[in-house]
Amino acid sequence: MNPDILIMDEPASNLDPRSRRQLINLLKGFEHTKIIASHDLDLILNVCERCIIIKDGKIVADGYTPNILSDKRLLEENSLELPLSSQGAYSHI
């Protein structure tokens, strides 16, 4: 269909690990605008250049994804956690 904009809400919800990785690879190859609402911050870190955090209907942060998602204080203030990959969760694998 070749859309210019792709909008998704929690696209990795209920996916098994292989399907989640396939989705991430597919989204990384999509060169047009992507709007993704998700609490899967590792997916966002992998796929999105820009990240916006919204709390109570207001934008509280907007910027380069690695900068936003590495700010532990900002994330905690907005009921989020660092992405698992940033917590060292995968370091033992």
Express each pLDDT in 37-83 by its tens digit: 999 999 999 999 999 999 999 999 999 999 999 999 999 999 999 98
Domains of the chain: 5-85 (3.40.50.300)
Global pTM? 0.82
Q: Identify the band that residue 90 occupies on the pLDDT scale cut at 50, 70 and 90.
A: low
Note whether 30 and 8 are within 8 A (CB). Answer: no
* Three-state secondary structure readout of 14-61: CCCHHHHHHHHHHHHHCCCEEEEECCCHHHHHHHCCEEEEEECCEEEE
Note whether 36 and 48 are within 8 A (CB). Answer: yes
Q: Identify the band that residue 89 occupies on the pLDDT scale cut at 50, 70 and 90.
A: low
- The pLDDT assigned to 88 comes to 73
Give how far Cα 30 sits from Cα of 1, 37, 41, Å. Answer: 12, 16, 19
